[in-house]
Amino acid sequence: MRFRAVWLSILLLGLTPTLRAQDRAACHVPLPSAERIEAVRAYIRQSWDVLTRSHRDLLAAVQDPKIEHEPGTPWPLYIAATEDSAAVWHRLQQELPDSVLQQIVLRVLPEDPVAHLDEIHPHGLLYLPEPYVVPGGRFNEMYGWDSYFIVVGLLRDGRIDLAKAMTDNHLYQVRHYGKVLNANRTYYLTRSQPPFLSAMVLAVYEHTQDRDWLAAAAPLIERYYAYWTTPPHLAGETGLSRYYDLGEGPAPEVVVGERDAQGRTHYDRVREYYRTHEVTAYDESLYYVAEADSLTPLFYKGDRSMRESGFDPSNRFGPFSVDIIHYAPVGLNALLYRMETDLARIHEILGDTAAAAAWRARAEARRERVDRYLWDPERGLYFDYNFRTGRRSDYVFATTFYPLWVGMASPEQAARVATNLYLLEAPGGLLTSTHISGSQWDAPYGWAPLYLIAVEGLRRYGYDEAADRLTAKFVSMIVEDFERTGVILEKYDVVQRRSDVALRYGYTSNEIGFGWTNAVFAELLAQMD
């Protein structure tokens, strides 16, 4: 039998779906004392330097626990064909001792690295010119959507130069690779991550007021926007966008980096699932050949595309979310609306009113399509849309708050979503979904970036009481777990209010650091103040 969706308010919380507003309010958790909070804040302020990678840390940055490396051989550092390799090597020679340089070999990528990815061996780190903050744990590189939240935290802690440096690195990636990469490793060249670039640029601009820098960033943001709004990232005939990795076959970092204690890869565990479970969420034959016990090329395309979404994995688009290639997701299209409105604002700042009006028109067109395809007026939630079947999903997921965060929901829509908060609210704050799948981006787990988006979305429409309640639950959970463990982690069981995880799919660890948890903790606290 397969894992079925469950309403956690029933199975986990012992509550009823008709929980009254006053009962939900009674679930309020008080903030910890200032002294206890300060202990966590001190850890966070120290962590920014621990997690920072610059040229002086290059030997640490090139090392990658997610892939195999032949002992005694130099670690490769790759640069774009459009970059000046001699200038890069000269810069490294000026900044690093020979003992370090002897352990690194500089290699130039093909002019079209995506088309020639199979020629890149071994995989390695992609050069970036500026310092950056890594998430932590096994993630020893600069990630796409993690970076937005990290930038928010850096700005909150007055680290403006480092926040700008990270944003400049993202603009550098667009300049040389046409997109913000999943992360700066060669095996990520085929995909991006949820697009937060325009939000990063404007967040930094608010602190620097550097119009020349903003003007230079604008065409790169527009180039990145084109990545998401041209084939193959179009979601059928909807006028909306989808996730779609440009690569083929198993993801290299998964084959090595997502093995369990028995040595089985994530893909081994997926095949076991297909052998032992009935799949009804999609046509299983598209992704698995039972006679050969093998995953199809389309499975790997879906698996890679699910990783571009950042939600890796969940069962949101069927088991392992491999059917994601047939969906227009709520989160992605809300973020593209944000990019459109951000570009309108940028052009207004730069004095180009005609361009600003054009971007506002694009945003309005997307809002209308989101209302048509993704908004469910009966349930009062936003759902992903399967353009292959012509039906909306019914999978309740925390991305339903994205339209509130970007301001595309009407007051009436926001009120409906806020009323349905109880479906995802738990003792530790916000569940990722209402479903238990054995994957980390499902119940009972909660993730910092979704907290920030949900809380800021609720505040945007005046639901401050709910926002404060979620913040207090999150902050108190982090403080209590920090007092047990001494660290801040990637994700939390928000039902048990602990960092303990019990995962069956994907990588099964909980990583220490952790960039976006650090940032969201600081930012949510500041907003309550």
Kindly list the distances between the CA atom of residue 122 and the CA atoms of 75, 77, 118, 188, 371, in Å, as whole numbers in the listed order: 9, 10, 10, 13, 46
Residue 168 annotated to the active site: no
Task: End-to-end CA distance of the chain: give it in Å, rounded.
Answer: 49
d(CA 119, CA 350) in angstroms, rounded, equals 43
d(CA 507, CA 66) in angstroms, rounded, equals 10
Write the CB contacts of 425 (distance below 8 Å, at least 6 apart in sequence). Answer: 24, 27, 431, 470
Q: Cis before residue 122, ω within 30 degrees of 0? A: yes
d(CA 337, CA 186) in angstroms, rounded, equals 29
> pTM, whole model, 2 decimals?
0.94
Residue 312 annotated to the active site: yes
Residue 397 token pair: 């997921």
Which CATH architecture fits 8-248+324-528? Alpha/alpha barrel (1.50)
Kindly list the distances between the CA atom of residue 392 and the CA atoms of 4, 7, 191, in Å, as whole numbers in the listed order: 18, 19, 25
The position carrying tokens 């330097």 is: 49
Residue 311 burial (10 A CB sphere; 0-12, 13-18, 19+): buried
Question: pLDDT tens, position by position, for the chain (529 residues)?
Answer: 333 333 344 344 433 333 344 344 446 889 999 999 999 999 999 999 999 999 999 999 999 999 999 999 999 999 999 999 999 999 999 999 999 999 999 999 999 999 999 999 999 999 999 999 999 999 999 999 999 999 999 999 999 999 999 999 999 999 999 999 999 999 999 999 999 999 999 999 999 999 999 999 999 999 999 999 999 999 999 999 999 999 999 999 999 888 888 889 999 999 999 999 999 999 999 999 999 999 999 999 999 999 999 999 999 999 999 999 999 999 999 999 999 999 999 999 999 999 999 999 999 999 999 999 999 999 999 999 999 999 999 999 999 999 999 999 999 999 999 999 999 999 999 999 999 999 999 999 999 999 999 999 999 999 999 999 999 999 999 999 999 999 999 999 999 999 999 999 999 999 999 999 999 999 999 998 6
Catalytic residue among 64, 312, 384, 442: 312
Q: How many residues does the chain have?
A: 529
Write the CB contacts of 77 (distance below 8 Å, at least 6 apart in sequence). Answer: 58, 62, 104, 105, 106, 107, 124, 125, 127
Helical packing angle, 34-50 and 515-528, nearest 10°: 140
Catalytic residue among 425, 468, 490, 523: 490
Kindly list the distances between the CA atom of residue 296 and the CA atoms of 218, 289, 322, 500, in Å, as whole numbers in the listed order: 40, 7, 11, 34
d(CA 116, CA 93) in angstroms, rounded, equals 29
